[in-house]
Amino acid sequence: MRQKYDITLKDLLKDIPKVFLKLITGYETGRFIDVQFPDIQLREPDLAFEVENGKIVHFEIQSRNDNTMLERMYLYSGFIFNQHRKLPVQIVLYVGSEPMNMKNHIEGEGVNYSYKLIDIREIDCRRLLESDCPEDIVLAILCKTDDVDATIRTILDKLSVLPPKKREGYIRKLLYLSDLRRLYPKVKLEVSKMPITIDVKDSDIFKEGKEEGKGEGLIEGIELGLELKYGQAGLELMPAVRVVDSVDKLEEIKNLIRKAGSVDELKVFLGNIL
């Protein structure tokens, strides 16, 4: 399910919700830029964009505390500087339910580094509910509120005026994110009262989450198998593996690793099933 939260949040933030980003970064508009982090495998930041004064803002979204976050962000800063010759403004947005507990500062010989660490629960949802941007409105479900029920109703009232297809898409995003606050049953109940047609069965979300979790585990197992059996040559196949969205095909790839005698042989097998 964590991947579902991440995908939903990135999808909302990539449209640059003006009020939310103004609250977080001080900027309302920006242009997304391409940044890749070379490592054992190809990595990319959650979000990176250039704002009007030329600064680069780098976002990472965390639904869990990560005790390696400081090291990761420091490394990411170096990669961004290497590619764009600019030190980025870095922000980790924490959206989890547990108390936020991550380090964001380090000092050493000639080094004084920090990134901005924000708990989304400290943002007053009323600021977002005043917006006409649906991305802002949906994100309000994760923010601070004194009246959860009223907040949910306000969000749905604002989304109800959208065209049907667009409205359904944002309501699904709202349902996904509401589970981070254990509000899914409340949101589902309010949605069921709306004079619209939308399938909000619990199985829709949790079945997808279960499949995604299984897929993540298989990808990790495939990566380990490729590295152990073929080393770096095997890991070079991971970009092709990561685009596979079928659990059955991932299972087949995992079995193929055991059977293939060489990387070239595995490439042939992969070519037949992808």
**In this predicted structure, what is the pLDDT of residue 40?**
37
Residue pair 88/58 in contact by the 8 Å Cβ criterion: yes
Q: Which segments in the chain show pLDDT lower than 50?
A: 1-2, 40-42, 202-203, 205-207, 209-210
pTM of the model: 0.65
* Cα–Cα dist 61/9, whole Å: 8
φ, ψ for residue 98, nearest 5 deg: -75, 160
* Cα–Cα dist 262/139, whole Å: 48
* Cα–Cα dist 69/117, whole Å: 10
Torsion angle of the four alpha carbons 217, 118, 10, 64, in this order, in degrees rounded to the nearest 10: 10
Sequence spans of domains, the chain: 2-122, 125-200, 204-273
pLDDT in tens, 105-115: 999 888 899 99
**In this predicted structure, what is the pLDDT of residue 202?**
44
**In this predicted structure, what is the pLDDT of residue 197?**
59
φ, ψ for residue 62, nearest 5 deg: -125, 125
CATH number (3.30.750, 3.40.1350, 3.40.630, 3.30.70) of 2-122 reads 3.40.1350
DSSP state of 120: G
**In this predicted structure, what is the pLDDT of residue 225?**
79
**In this predicted structure, what is the pLDDT of residue 263?**
81
**In this predicted structure, what is the pLDDT of residue 131?**
94
Q: How far is CA 266 from CA 15, 239, 243, 259, in A?
A: 39, 14, 17, 8
pLDDT in tens, 1-59: 445 666 778 778 777 777 887 888 887 777 666 666 555 344 567 788 888 888 999 98
* Cα–Cα dist 272/253, whole Å: 11
* Cα–Cα dist 53/97, whole Å: 35
